[in-house]
Amino acid sequence: MRMPVMDGYEATKRIKGTLKGQATAVIAITASVWEEEKAVILSAGCDDFVRKPFHTEAIFDIMAKHLGVGYIYQEQELPSSPSNVTGEPLNFTDLLAAMSKKWRVKLYEAAIDADSELVFQLLEEIPESHAFELQTLRNWVNKFQFEKILDLTEPLIGE
């Protein structure tokens, strides 16, 4: 929603102010972490929004939703399972419950900012009893998959 010269709110207002623009889907991309911002963005005329950082798939999903388009994807080979992974399921619920609310909020905010250095610092506080979950989180950060961390932490930051 922040852009040089004209912000996204003004651009949306101008687009939606034309007859052709009323039929145009406007999708906001924002770095805002505040839920209240969502209502402001939608009331400005945007049809939907995506929070940064985001996966490319999120943009394609929203375009499909608003434009009624579909995509044909090339099949990918599934990687073979690493030999060092056991059959134990990952338990992020217990991990996050073991951490303080302040820590969860810091992790959420660091993920929103895609601040890998801060996320790694926060991960150092995770007990060794959650080694598999910790390794998964580190892999996500190394692959810039911050949205997975956001998906885990977002429901818990309001508690």
Same domain membership, residue 100 and residue 48: no
Q: Tell me if 49 is assigned to some domain.
A: yes
Secondary structure (3-state) at 155: helix
Q: Tell me if 136 is assigned to some domain.
A: yes
Same domain membership, residue 103 and residue 57: no
Which is nearest to 123 in space by CA: 153, 159, 151? 153
How far out from the chain centre does Cα 66 lie?
19
Q: Tell me if 110 is assigned to some domain.
A: yes
What residue numbers bound the domain in which 21 lies? Answer: 8-67
Range picked from 86-90, 128-132, 136-140 for highest mean pLDDT: 136-140
The pLDDT > 70 percentage for the chain reads 89
Same domain membership, residue 148 and residue 99: yes
Q: Tell me if 119 is assigned to some domain.
A: yes
End-to-end Cα, the chain, rounded Å = 28
Q: 8 near 28, Cβ under 8 Å?
A: yes
Q: What is the pLDDT of residues 66-102, one digit of tens each?
A: 888 888 877 766 555 444 444 456 788 888 888 899 9
What is the rounded distance in angstroms from the CA atom of residue 157 to the CA atom of residue 106?
9
Least confident of 37-51, 81-95, 137-151: 81-95
Q: Tell me if 134 is assigned to some domain.
A: yes
Same domain membership, residue 149 and residue 98: yes
Q: Tell me if 33 is assigned to some domain.
A: yes
Q: Tell me if 82 is assigned to some domain.
A: no
* CATH number of the domain residue 21 falls in: 3.40.50.2300
Burial of residue 34, with CB atoms counted within 10 A of its CB: 0-12 exposed, 13-18 middle, 19 or more buried? exposed
Q: Tell me if 72 is assigned to some domain.
A: no
Stretch 39-63: mean pLDDT, rounded? 86
Same domain membership, residue 108 and residue 52: no
pTM: 0.46
Count structural domains, the chain: 2
Same domain membership, residue 101 and residue 53: no
Q: Token pair for residue 3?
A: 């852009």
Q: Looking at the chain, how many residues does it have? A: 159
Place of tokens 């145009």: 24
List alpha helices for the chain, DSSP H: 8-16, 19-22, 35-43, 56-67, 92-98, 101-112, 116-123, 131-142, 146-157
